[in-house]
Amino acid sequence: MIPSGFPPKDEMARLAARMLIEVGAVHFNTAEPFTLASGLPSPTYIDCRRLIGFPRIRAVLMDHLAATVMREAGFEAFDNVAGGETAGIPFAALMAERLALPMSYVRKKPKGYGRNARIEGVMREGDRVLLVEDLATDGGSKLSFVEAIRETGATCGHAAVIFFYGIFPEALPALKAKGIELHFLCTWWDVVDEARRSGAFDSATLEGVEAFLRDPRTWQKARSG
C-alpha cells in the first residue's frame, strides 16, 4: 500500500531510533569495542537485519522510508527499486510494494557462472532506479552498486536507507560528487538521544559513545593496533 501519511522528519527519526532500540538492533560497549568490517574498533554496532523479524516495526519503518523518499525525491521519480546484496534485498522488496514499482537486486560481484550477472530481476535502459539498503556508514559501499546499475543504461541518483551513521563528514559530499542523494530515517545521534530519553543505556556508556561519535577517526586511531 502506498503511504499517504507524512509525519515530520524529526518525529520519524525519533520513532525509528526507538524501534531500533526496542528490537535489540543497537549495541553499545565502550569497555570492549566491536570490530567493524573495516577492521577498526567501534563502541557502537547496529544490526538492522533484526528488523525483518518484527512485522509491525518493519511496516512502520518502510512506510516512513517510502514517505521520506517521495517527499525528498518526488512522487513519480522512479521506475525501479533495487536492493543491494544481501541486507538491502528484503527492504527493497518492501519498498517496491509501497511505491508500486518493479524490484530488482544488485550483487556485490558477478556470480561467476550462467549470465555472470550483477543485476537480478528486470532493469531496463533508461529506468530511474532507487537503490535501497539497510544502512550507510561513509557511503563507500553504495558506489559499487550504483555503478553496476548505471552500466545497464539505467540511471541511479538516489539511495535510501533506514539508518545512516551521520558521523563521517565526508560521507554525503562523496555521494553527492557521484550524483547520489542519500535518504535516511535516523542517525547515531538520534539513537543516542532516544537511548538517553528512554533510559535504555546508562549515562556513562552514553557519554563514552558520544566521545566516539564526536571524533570517530581519532577514537579509532587511539585504540587500533
Confidence of residue 113 (pLDDT cuts 50, 70, 90): low
Q: Report, as an integer, the average pLDDT of 148-158.
A: 96
Give Cβ neighbours of residue 168 (< 8 Å, ≥ 6 apart): 137, 138, 216
Q: What is the pTM of this model?
A: 0.94
- Judge contact between 209 and 44, C-beta under 8 A: yes
User: Whole domain around residue 176: which residue ranges?
Assistant: 9-218
Give the helix/strand (H/E) hosting 160: strand 155-164
Share of the chain above pLDDT 70, in %: 97
Q: How many domains does the chain have?
A: 1
Q: Report, as an integer, the average pLDDT of 37-53.
A: 92
Does residue 180 lie within any of the structural domains?
A: yes
pLDDT score at 2: 84
Does residue 140 lie within any of the structural domains?
A: yes
Does residue 225 lie within any of the structural domains?
A: no
> How far apart are alpha carbons 13 and 116 in whole angstroms?
39
> How far apart are alpha carbons 108 and 119 in whole angstroms?
10
Does residue 101 lie within any of the structural domains?
A: yes
Does residue 224 lie within any of the structural domains?
A: no
Does residue 125 lie within any of the structural domains?
A: yes
pLDDT score at 225: 65
**Three-class secondary structure of residue 75 per DSSP:** coil
Does residue 39 lie within any of the structural domains?
A: yes
Letter string b/e over residues 62-74, b meaning 16 or more CB atoms within 10 A of that residue's CB: bbbbbbbbbeebe
Confidence of residue 209 (pLDDT cuts 50, 70, 90): very high
Find the CATH number of the domain harbouring 173. Answer: 3.40.50.2020
**Tally of CB atoms within 10 A around 165:** 21
Does residue 3 lie within any of the structural domains?
A: no
